[in-house]
Amino acid sequence: SQQGEEDPQALSIQEGENATMNCSYKTSINNLQWYRQNSGRGLVHLILIRSNEREKHSGRLRVTLDTSKKSSSLLITASRAADTASYFCATAPQGGSEKLVFGKGTKLTVNP
């Protein structure tokens, strides 16, 4: 079942602006991951944040996790046209399950 719910479903911004995407989930997790998918392609792992972490950075990416609200956000700073893609959050449920449960995704369009 789909656990994560991203919002917004679609986001259109200008190059140079920041993009923020949110993800909410329902059950306890071991970690939460963000993936990127270019149209018609596979997914690329962006960043993993563990349940005991609150914030993580990787280059222009900043991820936050609030386990009390069961939510996470992905911030892309100084966006580029090449950042245009769909972004998915995925949760690894607590209990050692190998499975990831993906959200519905946010379609980001960065206009040059």
Partner 1 sequence: GAVVSQHPSWVICKSGTSVKIECRSLDFQATTMFWYRQFPKQSLMLMATSNEGSKATYEQGVEKDKFLINHASLTLSTLTVTSAHPEDSSFYICSARGGPGSYEQYFGPGTRLTVT
Interface residues with partner 1 (CB under 8 A)? 2, 30-31, 33, 35, 40-45, 48, 88, 92, 98-105, 107
Name the minimum Å distance from CB 56 to partner 1. Answer: 13
Q: Which one, 15 or 22, has the nearer CB to partner 1?
A: 22
Report the alpha-carbon distance of residue 26 to residue 91 in Å, rounded: 10
Q: Which one, 41 or 57, has the nearer CB to partner 1?
A: 41
Both tokens assigned to 75: 């911030």
Report the alpha-carbon distance of residue 112 to residue 76 in Å, rounded: 16
Name the minimum Å distance from CB 103 to partner 1. Answer: 6
Q: Which one, 97 or 111, has the nearer CB to partner 1?
A: 97
Report the alpha-carbon distance of residue 85 to residue 109 in Å, rounded: 7
- Contact criterion met (CB below 8 Å) for 74 and 23: yes
Q: What is the DSSP letter of 97?
A: -
Name the minimum Å distance from CB 102 to partner 1. Answer: 5
